[in-house]
């Protein structure tokens, strides 16, 4: 099932996330997240966090974004976790 999850990430449509992949594979979201964590540790998936609590990672933060609450608000700002496959270089001579 671990390989099936990795393959699903490699074949995922743009915008398809962990929830959709878990549903497609018939997995619980928490189980799929744990399996994805395994692939992150192995270097086969890259985990990127966008829009962290201070919004420093968001593209729009430097362009006057107003969708995140201000810093005086008690709620956490939204963050997006992106998991993308890491393409391994092909060995020379393999077909």
| pLDDT score at 73 | 43
- Asked whether the beta carbons of 38 and 56 are under 8 A apart, the reply is no
Confirm if 46 and 83 have CB atoms less than 8 A apart: yes
Give the CA distances from residue 56 to residues 8, 61, 93, in Å, rounded to whole numbers and listed in that order.
30, 7, 44
| Predicted TM-score (pTM) of this structure | 0.64
CA 45 to chain centre: 8
pLDDT in tens, 22-72: 999 999 999 999 999 999 999 999 988 766 555 555 555 555 555 555 554
**CA separation (Å) from 13 to 8, 34, 53, 84?**
9, 21, 28, 11
């Amino acid at each position: 099932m671990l390989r099936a999850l990795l393959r699903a990430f490699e074949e995922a449509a743009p915008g398809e996330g962990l929830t959709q992949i878990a549903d497609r594979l018939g997995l619980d979201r928490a189980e799929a997240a744990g399996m994805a964590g395994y692939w992150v540790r192995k270097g086969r998936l890259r985990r990127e966090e966008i829009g962290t609590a201070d919004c420093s990672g968001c593209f729009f933060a430097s362009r006057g974004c107003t969708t995140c609450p201000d810093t005086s608000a008690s709620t956490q700002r939204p963050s997006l976790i992106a998991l993308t496959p890491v393409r391994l270089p092909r060995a020379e001579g393999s077909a």
